Structure 1
Amino acid sequence: MTDTTTTAVGADLSTLSLEEKASLVSGESFWRTKAVGDIPSVMLTDGPHGLRKQREGGDHLGLGDSVPATCFPPAVALGSSWDVELAERIGAALGVESSIEDVAVILGPGINIKRSPLCGRNFEYLSEDPIVSGVLGAGLVRGIQSQGVGASLKHFAANNQEDDRMRSSSDVDPRPLREIYLRGFQRVVEDAQPHTVMCSYNRINGVFASENRWLLTDVLRGEWGFEGLVVSDWGAVNDRVAALRAGLDLEMPGNGGQTDAQVVAAVSDGTLDEAVLDASAQRNADLAVRWAATPRVEGPLDVDAHHALAREAAARSIVLLKNDPPRGAAEQLLPLRPGQSIAVIGAFAEKPRYQGAGSSMIRPTRLDDALTSIRAVADDVAYAPGFSLAADVSSEETARLHGEALSAASAADVVVVFAGLPARLESEGYDRTDIDLPADQLALIDAVVAANPRTVVVLSNGGVVALPFAGDIPAIVEAWLLGQAGGSATAAVLFGAVSPSGKLTETIPYRLEDSPAFLNFGGEEGHVRYGEGLFVGYRWYDARRMDVAFPFGHGLSYTSYGYGSATAAVTPDGDVEVRVTVTNTGDRDGREVVQVYTSLPESSVQRAPRELKAFASVQLAAGESREVTVTVRRADLAYWDVRAERWVVEGGDYVVEVGASSRDLRTATTVAVAGDDLRLPLTRESSLAEVMAHPVAGPMVQAALAGMSQMMEGASGIMPEGVSMDKMLGSFPIGRIGMLAGGQVTPDMIDGLIAAANASQQ
């Protein structure tokens, strides 16, 4: 990978007028910033899985006006590769295509958490887990920016639904906000320093993201050290002056200078500090000047090489959910053999759904379909569409299509049904209403497997779908939306040219009603309550010991892997280094994703039963063994303490589990981790247990309680056997202990105790 990033280039704004500086903080047009003096205009364009560069005056969602570009697998698929190096290579390819087209910033990656399977834009996001999202997101950003092009990390933050996205408030408690919804963003910012971060449309706890100084300045810049500029999502600015004051540097798209005039007026009347404007204008100018000084990648684009990379990524993203022998057979159904007669059924085989709908639609340089690719491998292939992709289909037409499909299925050695969600059912701008496949497809699958039990189902979908047929189908392939080379990649996996290695980065539940946000998703009256708290995705299902169709991290292979005994040790810098020997015990080369989960059984705060903390994608030849080292960062063990308002690593014996999925854990060990020093100031509201644990106040209170022994013993004497007075009084506020002391403890004594204890901590 070539690093063409230039050294920092600063722009001189000392000669600019107030009006000129104000003009720098909003766009000139839909895709371009303004040129002012020696500061050039630059172009920002949509991503995130391909370059969507439109001609000026494009309609934002139009595909026809976009230049041809490689459509790589969208995030829903790429996330399932769990491969940071692959993500970085795709990022570099996106940077190359952007540079050739003179694009300074590509809008992506999107790393929002998949809070609910109903979010219509889940196809643009990587995972339900912040570690997966953050690690892969950082890889994409590093790759993009290795070519001198800026990435735009989005959508910041707590943007987890499409319905009412322009104004609804994501009402999130501090711990889940930090630990689930911001953690991935923090990882990318600290590890990869994206040139820009895009603020989202929604409110967060009542405040628009674009006007949220706590989010854009205190956290993003102050805590995480972000050095780039904050750009609005297109149309996300509610009040330009308030947004500028909060830390939003660039408003997009342009609006003919209307908000520039508001900024000038605010500076002139003293309601906006000119230094605030200067800082944002400087960041915008620096981005433009840096881009002007960055060498461009020379074209033309190597279309074949990028298509090959898209095919590699697509094949690595496919998840083999199930691969059992059909009824009455001894061998697994997959991989297919070229000499078999194959019935390919399903319109998606011929007309692939390879990307999601909305602003990320790429005009591909070419497009592979699975039917053509299967016919290139096998000689005897029949095809029947089986169902229509149209919204309104008559019952007669449905019956005809089903009849043709059953005829083909009955005559074949094996059937491959391509089912999935039509584009109309999931898109940017609105959410899904269920997680079901269309009824005609479900009926078709049931009929086909009844006619021929040797049936494979291949899914095309941007969000998880319920799989009521899973118990009857011997083989199920989750092929997601795979980009422009998905058809040939799918054929490669079906026939075994590539052993599947993808793993789920989101749980597949049996029912929508089982999902964590079921009762809260969507919200009402402009508010969405994140009532599931920390328990998003697999954390929820594990905490409730709930059965799922397929768990987080699951994915089968055409080979098998054995795990040795894991060891874990704390490194000098406080990280936890986990080692495990993994062996390819099968007869095919393959790739395994080694997943590391941790838990703290004796934790003093609420936690999920286990949480993913690190992972590694490992290529192993047949029979090969390798010791895999995976590092869990100390920072990733921390929880957000709402009292101290900071990250805290709780000390104790952590359980470290290593395996092939969140519910296929092969080996476990423990490691002692030293905790952070956390001493909170005592107040009258501090509990007796908290005071007793204090090194100074504890002995003083113990002595005072000893003087109350007669009263305490009397109280104990009337308690039922086994009832603990210590536990009963443990949560009693120290400020109210006087009522139990019969006048022996006064408010002044309590205040003196608190003052002495707090002084000892200074």
Structure 2
Amino acid sequence: MAQTAADQAREAVVEAALGGLDLDGKTRMLAGQDMWSMPALPEIGLGSMVLSDGPIGVRGVRLTADDPSVALPSPTALAASWDQDLARRVGRLLAQEARRKGVHLLLAPTLNLQRTPLGGRHFEAYSEDPYLTGVIGTGYVQGVQSGGVGAVVKHFVANDAETDRFTVNGVLSDRTLREVYLAPFEAVVASARPWGLMTAYNAVNGTTMSEHRELVEGVLRGEWGFDGVNVSDWAAARSTAGALAGGLDVTMPGPETVYGAALAAAVRSGEVEEAAVDRAVRRVLRLAARVGVLAGAVPAVPAGDLPPDVDGRALAREAARRGFVLLRNALLPGPCVPGALAPGEGSEPGAARRALPLDPARLRRVALIGAAARDPRAQGGGSATVFPDHVVSPLDGFTAALPDGAVSWSLGVDLAEELSTADQGFELRAVCRNARGTVLGGCPLPTGKLQWIGDSLPDGVTSEALHSIEITGTFTPRESGDHLLGTRGVGAFRLRVGDRVVYEGVQRSDGSPDDHSMFGVPLGDARVSLTMVYESAEESSAPSDPFESLFGAPVERASVPLTAGEPVEISLLNTLDKGYVPPLPGVTFSLLHRPPRRPADELIAEATEAAAAADAAVVVVATTERVESEGFDRVDLALPGRQDDLVRAVAAANPHTVVVVNAGSPVELPWREEVAAVLLSWFPGQEGGAALADVLLGAAEPGGRLPTTWGALRDAPVTEVTPVDGDLRYREGVFVGYRAWQRAGRAPVYPFGHGLGYTDWTYESIAVTDTTATVRLRNTGQRPGREVVQVYVGPVDRGEGEAERPARVLAGFAGVEAAPGRSVEVAVELHPRAFETWDEPSGGWAAMKGAYTVQAGRSVADLRVTTVLEL
């Protein structure tokens, strides 16, 4: 990549700074100074660089309520917009958030692929298609870095499942790597020039990615010209000499890593060359110059060139509705329920009309049903979690949009099969004390999860002085009955209810308890005191997953009878075990809660009764954190609990039943033909409920198209997530996602690219000149709309001796808008790689000559116009 004059000026400052460092200074630069920052070296004018998790918000270094973050829709929802400009604007907002929080590097976006629907963390990835992933990722990175903040793309590479994620070895061919899994990274490096990249925990073909010289030095830097910093995933680096030789620049977290003093010693012993250290230091200094923390260097984006501020709430709402995918919108025969449908085509008496949108002016009563209608999953679980200052639920959104009394809510099905983090009704604060009981500091807590990784402690608190943590506040139950309390974490606990100890013992890292539990403790009065003590245990073992205390199984500890609306005092004391050394430094444990449960049949009957009395029923179904989250893969695609039974019962009571699917990745929808409409909301972020009301009530059109194929698990061609003898073999090769479905000759429930709007489109023509497809189409519906024109190409014939290729691949797309009756023409550039394959014998790309079918349409399975291109 050619350097600009500004780049050259920064390089001169970098070289001068490098010349002012001795060996110890250099090696110290390459190791994190703590969990979220890199060290400052004032002697050369280097400030500390702060890193933060993304991708839907900027967490900062503290996961606390006193520093809230804008929470945007999940990456899969963003990719469902099929809109690079929207991704770019999202990136600009995140850069704005990062600057506000003092963050220089955002650990995002995730460019791994949704290889199988069982991937537990797929909500954090964009798509099953490498081209779509690269386009959206490019926009995101461009947006972030236009705001002067570095994007650290991750996880390089083949980090596509969670099972044994720290040790798994991905076994895949060079062709599969190049055409599928490396492709999004290559596209983003070429088009967005990211300033950072994170190498994954896993190995590829026998070599751990933190030491993979062939892929990092050979491909990433050598072929693609990447000039940014390579950061390890947290605690992924295993070898001093191996990591440096493999091209790893920075090991995180610090300061105790395989770099720092260990690297200086390796140089002095002759195990590694100082020149290799210099190359890594040079890249870190270049990054510091770009983000503005190296004295004398003009930042890549000077303060005067920063983009205008973005309205975070407005963009979060827009991004949510632009990602909503309308999977089904059936015709309802007239005469319809009065006021339930929007006017327009077919609105005359007795005519058939679409189930959506609803008409808020004439809608008398809506039955809103489902646990997630009141308490939605706004975001996925794991390291991507942030705390917004508010979340708009579907109940909030509909209540605000419709007249008083027009909306009723029913639980329908209780999803609280397990305890979850204490949240709704809890108002909590953490108070930190030293061994003498003196208060050191504290902060508000948004939930019962205490997650202070590294030195991200409240002001005035140090890890050396910290002896105990008390979570104190109140809990106002929303339901009367027996409330379960529990814990998540590893170590010795003591739980108090009132004046009685109801649990005391050790929770080991292997999940086995050594406890003395007492359940069903009666309350003598309305005051409840809970005390949890994290004490030294004679027997202790480190968890195999460093995040076990965050993502491990919840454990029930006590049952407490409470009355709805009556607040009780809560006190949770954690006395630290100074002898326990966790894999990741910090304090992490959780107070868990589960409200009283009522019989499922009773809840479904109540919801059915409400639906029968309403003009329309909206059922919100959802996954839970025990189904989709970081740290584990899924075992099936079923909705948890009896949500399928609920949908069927409501649909039988009201033919105008709309189902909203609040999930981050595919779930099975066995009742889809029994309901009037199905809308996929993904994990929609903090403004999801408001956006949902916008779309269902017709103020906005659902803008999304599926970035991944939806089908029954029994039909899915690729499902392997569990390694065998440490190896996860990508036997499907380049046939992943819709390519695999086509190869297997199976029809999914909803194909890649599928999504409906509130108008109709007729595709009129397609023509190809060179590698540009020009598509003409017309809005033949009754209202303005946006269409995503998708262009797919595939070889007409397979040449003799030619490797098998997909029947068709996505080669380009574009969004168009038109008023009713108007036509529009759009030019779509076809991606050159659609006509190439990786030739393993020669180790290079080969252009595949011959005839190609070029088709445009609404999804990979709904292609409306066709032409042939000869190459």
Q: TM above 0.5, one fold?
A: yes
Residues 52 and 66, structure 1, Cα contact 8 Å, conserved in 2: no
Q: What is the match of residue 57 of structure 2?
A: 50
Q: Does 1:312 align with 2:318?
A: yes
Cα distance between partner residues in 2 of 1:398 and 1:302: 51
Q: What is the match of residue 596 of structure 1?
A: 791
* 3-state DSSP of counterpart to 1:45: strand
Cα distance between partner residues in 2 of 1:304 and 1:579: 34
Query: How many angstroms does 1:241 deviate by?
Result: 2.1
Query: How many angstroms does 1:615 deviate by?
Result: 0.7
Q: What is the match of residue 130 of structure 2?
A: 130
Cα distance between partner residues in 2 of 1:455 and 1:593: 27
Q: What is the match of residue 417 of structure 2?
A: 391
Residues 241 and 262, structure 1, Cα contact 8 Å, conserved in 2: no
Deviation string 1:560-589 (CA, Å, 9 cap, x unpaired) is 11112100121xxxxx01001121111211
Residue 321 of structure 1 aligns with an amino acid whose one-letter code is: L
Cα distance between partner residues in 1 of 2:129 and 2:307: 35
Q: What is the match of residue 736 of structure 1?
A: none
Q: What stretches of structure 1 move > 6 A for 4+ residues in a row?
A: 295-298, 300-304
Q: What is the match of residue 25 of structure 2?
A: 20
Q: What is the match of residue 483 of structure 2?
A: none
Q: Does 1:33 align with 2:38?
A: yes
Residues 38 and 48, structure 2, Cα contact 8 Å, conserved in 1: yes
Residue 314 of structure 1 aligns with an amino acid whose one-letter code is: A
Deviation string 1:585-643 (CA, Å, 9 cap, x unpaired) is 11211111110100112232201111001111112222222110000132442110111
Picking from 657, 675, 683, the partner of 1:473 is: 675
| Counterparts in 2 of 1:257 and 1:466: CA distance versus 1, 3 Å | closer
Deviation string 1:691-738 (CA, Å, 9 cap, x unpaired) is xxxxxxxxxxxxxxxxxxxxxxxxxxxxxxxxxxxxxxxxxxxxxxxx
Q: Does 1:609 align with 2:609?
A: no
Residues 93 and 310, structure 2, Cα contact 8 Å, conserved in 1: no
Query: How many angstroms does 1:446 deviate by?
Result: 1.2
Residues 102 and 296, structure 1, Cα contact 8 Å, conserved in 2: no
Picking from 724, 729, 732, the partner of 1:532 is: 732
Query: How many angstroms does 1:94 deviate by?
Result: 0.7
Cα distance between partner residues in 2 of 1:246 and 1:608: 33
Unaligned regions of 5+ residues in structure 2, if any? 337-351, 419-593
Unaligned regions of 5+ residues in structure 1, if any? 56-62, 571-575, 674-762
* 3-state DSSP of counterpart to 2:642: helix
1:412-427 alignment, distance < 5 Å: 412-427=614-629
Cα distance between partner residues in 2 of 1:622 and 1:29: 58
Q: What is the match of residue 623 of structure 1?
A: 821
Picking from 393, 408, 433, the partner of 1:382 is: 408
Cα distance between partner residues in 1 of 2:66 and 2:788: 36
Picking from 482, 496, 515, the partner of 2:716 is: 515
* 3-state DSSP of counterpart to 1:177: helix
Q: Decide which moves more: 258-267 or 272-281.
A: 258-267
Q: What is the match of residue 648 of structure 1?
A: 846
Query: How many angstroms does 1:302 deviate by?
Result: 10
Q: What is the match of residue 141 of structure 2?
A: 141
Residues 657 and 676, structure 2, Cα contact 8 Å, conserved in 1: yes
Residues 152 and 198, structure 1, Cα contact 8 Å, conserved in 2: yes
* 3-state DSSP of counterpart to 1:32: coil
1:343-492 alignment, distance < 5 Å: 343-379=367-403, 380-392=406-418, 396-492=598-694
Q: Decide which moves more: 28-37 or 628-637.
A: 628-637
Residues 793 and 834, structure 2, Cα contact 8 Å, conserved in 1: no
Cα distance between partner residues in 1 of 2:734 and 2:669: 26
1:654-669 alignment, distance < 5 Å: 654-669=852-867
Query: How many angstroms does 1:66 deviate by?
Result: 7.1
Percent sequence identity over matched residues? 41
Q: What is the match of residue 868 of structure 2?
A: 670
Query: How many angstroms does 1:296 deviate by?
Result: 7.6
Residues 357 and 426, structure 1, Cα contact 8 Å, conserved in 2: yes
| Counterparts in 2 of 1:602 and 1:302: CA distance versus 1, 3 Å | closer
Larger strand proportion of the pair: 2
Deviation string 1:166-209 (CA, Å, 9 cap, x unpaired) is 01001111111111111111000011110001111100111101
| Counterparts in 2 of 1:269 and 1:171: CA distance versus 1, 3 Å | same
Residues 318 and 501, structure 1, Cα contact 8 Å, conserved in 2: yes
Query: How many angstroms does 1:389 deviate by?
Result: 3.0
Q: What is the match of residue 577 of structure 1?
A: 772
Residues 99 and 296, structure 1, Cα contact 8 Å, conserved in 2: no
What TM-score does the superposition give when structure 1 sets the normalisation length?
0.83
1:733-744 alignment, distance < 5 Å: none
Query: How many angstroms does 1:70 deviate by?
Result: 1.0
Query: How many angstroms does 1:243 deviate by?
Result: 0.9
Query: How many angstroms does 1:470 deviate by?
Result: 1.0
Q: Does 1:337 align with 2:538?
A: no
| Counterparts in 2 of 1:317 and 1:66: CA distance versus 1, 3 Å | farther
Residues 241 and 272, structure 1, Cα contact 8 Å, conserved in 2: yes
Residues 170 and 527, structure 1, Cα contact 8 Å, conserved in 2: yes
* 3-state DSSP of counterpart to 2:782: coil
Cα distance between partner residues in 2 of 1:181 and 1:384: 44
RMSD of the TM alignment (CA)? 2.0
* 3-state DSSP of counterpart to 1:670: strand
* 3-state DSSP of counterpart to 2:197: strand
* 3-state DSSP of counterpart to 2:765: coil
Q: What is the match of residue 233 of structure 1?
A: 233
Cα distance between partner residues in 1 of 2:852 and 2:724: 40
Cα distance between partner residues in 2 of 1:637 and 1:64: 49
* 3-state DSSP of counterpart to 2:686: coil
| Counterparts in 2 of 1:47 and 1:290: CA distance versus 1, 3 Å | same
Deviation string 1:226-261 (CA, Å, 9 cap, x unpaired) is 111111111111213211111011111113366322
Cα distance between partner residues in 2 of 1:597 and 1:633: 10
Larger helix proportion of the pair: 1
Query: How many angstroms does 1:64 deviate by?
Result: 2.4
Deviation string 1:292-334 (CA, Å, 9 cap, x unpaired) is 2537869x99998111011111110000000002467521111
Cα distance between partner residues in 2 of 1:389 and 1:303: 39
Cα distance between partner residues in 2 of 1:633 and 1:266: 46
Residue 733 of structure 2 aligns with an amino acid whose one-letter code is: G
Deviation string 1:536-559 (CA, Å, 9 cap, x unpaired) is 110011122212110000000110
| Counterparts in 2 of 1:640 and 1:66: CA distance versus 1, 3 Å | farther
More RCO (CA 8 Å, sep 6+): 2
Cα distance between partner residues in 2 of 1:140 and 1:364: 20
Residue 323 of structure 1 aligns with an amino acid whose one-letter code is: N
Q: What is the match of residue 93 of structure 2?
A: 93
| Counterparts in 2 of 1:424 and 1:290: CA distance versus 1, 3 Å | same
Query: How many angstroms does 1:451 deviate by?
Result: 1.5
Residues 414 and 641, structure 2, Cα contact 8 Å, conserved in 1: no
| Counterparts in 2 of 1:663 and 1:257: CA distance versus 1, 3 Å | closer
Q: Does 1:9 align with 2:10?
A: yes
Picking from 698, 723, 741, the partner of 1:541 is: 741
CA radius of gyration, larger in: 1
What TM-score does the superposition give when structure 2 sets the normalisation length?
0.73
Query: How many angstroms does 1:277 deviate by?
Result: 0.5
Residues 810 and 834, structure 2, Cα contact 8 Å, conserved in 1: no
Query: How many angstroms does 1:388 deviate by?
Result: 2.0
Residues 134 and 184, structure 1, Cα contact 8 Å, conserved in 2: yes
Cα distance between partner residues in 2 of 1:304 and 1:640: 42
Residues 135 and 187, structure 1, Cα contact 8 Å, conserved in 2: yes
| Counterparts in 2 of 1:258 and 1:593: CA distance versus 1, 3 Å | closer
Cα distance between partner residues in 2 of 1:196 and 1:304: 24
Query: How many angstroms does 1:377 deviate by?
Result: 2.3
Q: What is the match of residue 64 of structure 1?
A: 64
